[in-house]
């Protein structure tokens, strides 16, 4: 063990570690991540620690891959295992937002265009209700100039967390997005339905445009307003568990953990 490594926040139940590993596989199965992307959860007994898999494709994550980090994103128990370069996304969000217990970073393809054009993502249906609060865009070049677009240190992680603010989602220009939750299950649910919502918004925008000739100014899009989003998202905190149970059971059938 590395003597200079941060002290562990304590033992975590094996079942919860398995759930975190399963979350990576769920996100891959749902098309949110592919060979890249990662999910973390705050240590359940130590708020200044978080847990995330080593640098490995999400669909291959096992419980043995999970590493504990401090909020500076230094590994406590790497034991030779490599870490994700962009782990600072997670550490800095946990620092800035004590209410957040899980973070997902992905490059889901339907979401990326909303970080490239001046067309805000809106909540198209109730399962994506949390989007109605607003979706900020983090453009890394505004503060750091030309970069590799990766959040590869704490300073860039701080900048991203500042743009996200009190919301639970942030887009990353020409890169991807981050979705967060008060539970691991909620963060996974939100990540899945952010991608679904983006697809629906693409279709809805195309449909609205196709009727523009008969409607002065184009067809309006009746997305959820902020209050509808607040009410629906409260329901989703319970509904997310139903989806999680389904997705988790599929992973358990495949790997027996």
Which residue in 15, 64, 86, 155 is the catalytic one? 86
Spacing of C-alpha 57 from chain mean position:
16
Decide: 240 and 186 in contact? Cβ < 8 Å. yes
- Length of the chain, please? 257
Q: Is 86 one of the catalytic residues?
A: yes
Q: Which of 68, 111, 105, 76 is nearest to 5 (CA)?
A: 76
Residues in contact with 213: Cβ distance below 8 Å, sequence separation at least 6, in sequence order: none
Instruction: Could you list the beta-strand ranges (E) of the chain.
Output: 38-42, 49-53, 66-70, 102-106, 137-138, 169-172, 176-181
Number of alpha carbons in the 13 Å side-chain half-sphere of residue 105: 25
Residues that are catalytic: 86
């Amino acid at each position: 063990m590395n003597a200079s490594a941060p002290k562990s926040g304590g033992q975590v139940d094996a079942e919860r570690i398995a759930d975190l590993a399963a979350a990576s596989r769920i996100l891959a199965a749902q098309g949110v991540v592919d060979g890249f992307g990662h999910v973390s959860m705050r240590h359940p007994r130590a708020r200044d620690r978080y847990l995330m898999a080593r640098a490995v494709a999400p669909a291959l994550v096992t419980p043995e891959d999970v590493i504990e980090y401090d909020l500076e994103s230094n590994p406590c128990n790497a034991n030779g295992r490599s870490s994700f370069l962009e782990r600072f996304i997670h550490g800095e969000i946990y620092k800035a937002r004590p209410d957040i217990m899980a973070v997902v970073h992905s490059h889901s393809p339907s979401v990326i265009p909303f970080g490239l054009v001046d067309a805000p993502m809106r909540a198209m249906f109730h399962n994506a209700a949390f989007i109605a609060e607003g979706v900020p865009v983090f453009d890394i070049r505004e503060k750091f100039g030309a970069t590799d677009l990766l959040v590869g240190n704490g300073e860039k992680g701080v900048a991203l967390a500042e743009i996200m603010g009190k919301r639970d989602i942030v887009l990353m220009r020409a890169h991807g997005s981050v979705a967060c939750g008060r539970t691991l299950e909620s963060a996974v649910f939100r990540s899945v339905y952010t991608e679904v919502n983006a697809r629906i918004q693409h279709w809805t925008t195309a449909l609205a445009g196709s009727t523009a000739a008969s409607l002065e100014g184009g067809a309006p899009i009746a997305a959820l307003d902020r209050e509808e989003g607040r009410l629906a998202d409260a329901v989703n905190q319970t509904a997310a568990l139903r989806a999680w149970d389904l997705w988790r059971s599929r992973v358990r059938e495949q790997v027996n953990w």
